[in-house]
Structure 1
Amino acid sequence: MNCLLTGGAGIVGSHIIFEWLHKAIVEKTVNHLFVVLRDNEKVAEQRMLAILQDESRPEFLNNFTLEACLEKITIISNDLSTITKSTLEKFDFDTVIHCAGSTNLASTSDSKEKVHSQNYLVTKQLLEQLPDAVNRFLYISTAYSFGIQDEKVNDCIENYEVTKFRNPYEQSKYESESYVKETCKLKNIDSQILRPSIICGRLIDKPFFETPKFDVFYSWAIFLAKYATKAKEEFRIWIDKESGLNIVPVDFVSKAILHAYLTPTIKELNIVNPTPILHKDYVGDVLESFNVNSYEYVSEKPENLNTFEKLYYKTIGDIFENYISIPDLQYQSDLILKFIDQLKLDVTLGVHENFMNLINFAVEKKFRKSY
């Protein structure tokens, strides 16, 4: 049970490392993890030490010595975009969890190029350079690779026509999924496509609310922290009152990924929250927490924008428009509900009751990246 992991310094990837260590040291259901990390201002080994020693790591890691953790991990200091088969063949693994990628939700030409390169081309490079010993490939996609759908979706994307996307990010993930499945079939490799939804901080393992990076839906709070004082007039915010955000805790996501790793019969899994949190139930609370007390929910984009509205709709509002202003993507959650029941978790995964705790925690941390 040796595995190669990419994206180990990311939000999900680092939590996969944490979960792997627990299963390797305590449950002994997995063995060794080979982690591809590139050097940046720190060399790859230092980056791994920063991940394992950061104060935000889950408390259960305190039960293991650093030496015990490092015994289960080998660092492969390399850049995925140029990694070669000869490099990978030096290491003994037969399974890959490919977690690396960009979550840039913008629709600019630069962001389109970035997500195509970091999501599709890097995945293509990795698959082309896989050692012959690899027989299974887990691709971490997104629950939004289904694009815009009018009906509930199940875990199999082939059942739907996917042609309309909210942004290039979603399209890049869909195209990467398709490439993974086609290429793995040609190479006689079993593929598993796992699709986490929008990710928040931890809600299962202490310390709660932690995440190494505050992005995606946290970007809205980052915007308000910076610009809320400019809201001098009533803020008309365009939302679909019947729709919501589908948010899952990062520790739940990593547990679901390891569950799929240990259950090869799972071919595709939407790692989603069976109960989205409605926009009308959280937007006002967030605005008021930043002292934006004069606001109105509107059903279409307002005209004659005031100063703050112009700033909002030109920046963060433009990115989130297709997530909070149109009907949300709905999921048939049978598979993930079984796993939630197995973990004996609340069906909302704690997101509803802790939404403002998550936001307030991010504000207290000043949205700082951990590693």
Structure 2
Amino acid sequence: MNILLTGATGTLGSNLLYKLLLRTDIKKLYLLIRDKKEVTAVQRLKRILSSKAAPKEISETIDKQLLKITVLDNQNFFNPSSYLQADEKVFCIHAAGFVNLSTNPTHKNEIFKENLDFTKQIFDCFEHYVLKFIYISTAYSIGDIGGVIPNSFHKKGSKPNFRNFYEESKYLAEQHLIKESEAKNIPLQILRPSVLGGNIFDNPQYFISKYMVYYLLAKFFYNNPFVNDTIRIAINKNTGLNIIPVDYAASIIEKVFTMDITELNIVHPNSTSLFNGIQRIAKTVNFNKLEIVPPTFDVIDTITTKLEKVYYNSIGVHLEPYLTSTPYEYDTRLLESILPMPLYDTVDYLEHTVAYAKQRAFRNKRW
């Protein structure tokens, strides 16, 4: 089989690339990779293949791996007749995405362009070549909703309560794909990973290429320039943040993209307690000026320190809706029948991933 993959240089996409390369039934991988400043697309790919995170079967046979790969820039990628045979069918795995939790209206167009418009463009461009279209969405595309969340949740007339434009753009992309795949009789699969954390199976353990979401809070505490200032953060004691190890998420995608599964949330059966988790984050980075207050307390209108001002003018605005969200859980029976979740304490895992990032000064992997 042949695979068309977007997002290969991303946090999840690079891990998925490793797992696809280890399969013996894949003849060709077509990768959309852009040049980046002074680094060419091929150089970026070689950095991924030679990384310490890459399995030895890949890092020690890079030339062999490159024979299976065709690297495409934006212009060539959207000209499939130049590299695909007229009757060639591929599995298209669209794993590229723009994770931006901003609620600022000025950012909406960019977020929608990257997550919604780009998805439409890819689907339309490859509709005659696609054996199956696999869309990597997010478990948070359903918005802020309580209770048990099923794998299929698109209902006519329903309107989710989105916390930001990222969630909304991914939800609308899903709806567009469902409609178009039915109209054009193209098999569709929607896979929704939750917040990505470091490796749980693979070495280096706790590795992740880019520090996002809860890592940003840890980095903020770690780099705090106002050492004597306290900060108050509102948290719903009953809610949590669903975090999934990146290698587990990649393993699930690699296993299910050929399976007859239409929608699947790739999530942990137990969300991480935010009340306990954020305190553990602060302790791990040696920050002892944290005060947790109830969601009903309006911190923004009563800011008292420079640290609070900086926080609530930056990442605090983006994270607050998640810290105070409605308690929820996911139905993971189907997911765990495919690959059981390893047993570990979720708060301990949170601490270990932050400690790993701290050792590396929260520097993202450059490739």
TM-score, shorter chain, exceeding 0.5 = yes
Which amino acid in 1 is paired with 2:5?
L
1:217 CA displacement = 1.8
Aligned partner of 1:353 in structure 2 is: 348
- Find out whether 1:210 has 2:210 as its counterpart: no
1:242 shift after superposition: 1.1
Paired AA for residue 283 in structure 2: E
Q: What one-letter code is carried by the residue in structure 1 that aligns with 2:16?
A: I
Aligned to 2:360: 365
Aligned AA for 2:115? N
Paired position in structure 2 for 1:286: 281
Q: Structure 1 residue 13: deviation in Å? A: 0.9
Displacement of 1:93 after TM fit? 4.3
Match of 1:12 in 2: 12
- Whether 2:62 is the aligned partner of 1:61: answer no
Indicate the SS of the match to 2:196.
Answer: strand
- Structure 1 residue aligned with 2:252: 256
Is the counterpart of residue 174 in structure 1 residue 171 in structure 2?
yes
Q: Helix, strand or coil: the match of 1:152? A: strand
Q: Does 1:295 align with 2:290?
A: yes
| 2:304 equivalent in structure 1 | 306
Match of 1:240 among 236, 243, 260: 236
Which amino acid in structure 2 is aligned with residue 168 of structure 1?
A: F
Indicate the larger mover: 7-16 or 52-61: 52-61
How much has 1:326 moved relative to structure 2? Answer: 2.2
8 Å CA contact retained: 1:8, 1:100: yes
Q: Give the letter aligned to residue 115 of structure 1.
A: I
For 1:98 and 1:167, the matched residues in 2 are separated by 22
Cα deviation, residue 153, structure 1:
1.3
Contact 2:191 2:266 in 1 (8 A): yes
Q: Which string of whole-angstrom CA distances, capped at 9 and with x for unpartnered residues, describes residues 307-337 of structure 1? A: 1222222221111111111224421111112
- String of CA shifts for 1:79-112, please: whole Å, max 9, x gaps: 59x8234446459542100011100111113421
Q: How many angstroms does 1:246 deviate by?
A: 0.3
SS at match of 2:212: coil
2:129 is aligned to: 133
User: 2:150·2:331 contact (CA, 8 Å) conserved in 1?
Assistant: yes
Q: What is the aligned partner in structure 2 of residue 225 from structure 1?
A: 222
**In structure 2, C-alpha distance between the alignment counterparts of 1:288 and 1:329, rounded to whole Å:** 26
How many Å apart are 1:236 and its aligned residue? Answer: 2.2
* Displacement after TM superposition at 1:142 (Å): 0.2
Q: Aligned equivalents of 2:166 and 2:266: distance in 1? A: 18
Residue-pair matches, total: 359
Q: Deviations over 1:166-208 (max 9, x none)?
A: 0000000000011111112222210000000000111111111
Output the amino acid matched with 2:92.
V
**Which segment drifts farther, 325-334 or 102-111?**
325-334
TM-score for both structures, normalised by structure 1: 0.90
* Cα deviations by residue, 1:56-83 (Å, 9 ceiling, x for unpaired): 3345535x51122222222122259x82
Residue 133 of structure 2 aligns with an amino acid whose one-letter code is F
Structure 1 stretches lacking a partner, 5+ long: none
Relative distance call for 1:105 and 1:87 in structure 2 (3 A) is farther
Q: Distance in 1 between matches of 2:65 and 2:80?
A: 27
Letter of the aligned partner of 2:222 in structure 1?
A: A
Give the C-alpha shift of residue 234 in structure 1.
4.1
Distance 1:311 1:133, change over 3 A: closer
Asked if the contact 1:225/1:290 (under 8 Å) is kept, the reply is yes
Contact 2:89 2:131 in 1 (8 A): no
Aligned CA-pair RMSD: 2.1
Q: Which range moves more in the overlay, 116-125 or 106-115?
A: 106-115
Instruction: Describe how 1:196-207 pairs up with structure 2 within 5 A.
Output: 196-207=193-204
Q: Identical aligned pairs, as a percentage? A: 31
Cα distance change on mapping 1:201 and 1:222 into 2, 3 Å = same
Contact 2:198–2:246 (Cα < 8 Å) also in 1? yes
CA distance in 2, matches of 1:268, 1:15: 21
Q: Is the 8 A contact 1:152 1:330 kept in 2?
A: yes
Instruction: Evaluate the alpha carbon distance shift between residue 245 and residue 208 of structure 1 in structure 2; reply closer, same or farther with a 3 A threshold.
Output: same
Gaps of 5+ in 2: none
Q: Distance in 1 between the 2:149 and 2:105 partners?
A: 29
Specify the SS of the correspondent of 1:223.
Answer: helix
CA distance in 2 between counterparts of 1:49 and 1:93 reads 27
Aligned equivalent of 2:100: 104
Question: How far 1:159 moved relative to its partner?
Answer: 4.5
For the residue of structure 2 that corresponds to 1:322, the secondary structure is helix
Deviation at 1:294, TM superposition (A): 3.7
Is the 1:148–1:162 contact (alpha carbons within 8 Å) kept by the matching residues of 2?
no
Check the 8 A contact 1:147/1:165 in 2, yes or no: yes
* Counterpart residue type for residue 141 of structure 2: S
* CA distance 1:299–1:46, change in 2 (3 Å): same
Compared with structure 1, are the counterparts of its residues 79 and 197 closer, same or farther at alpha carbon in structure 2 (3 Å cutoff)? farther
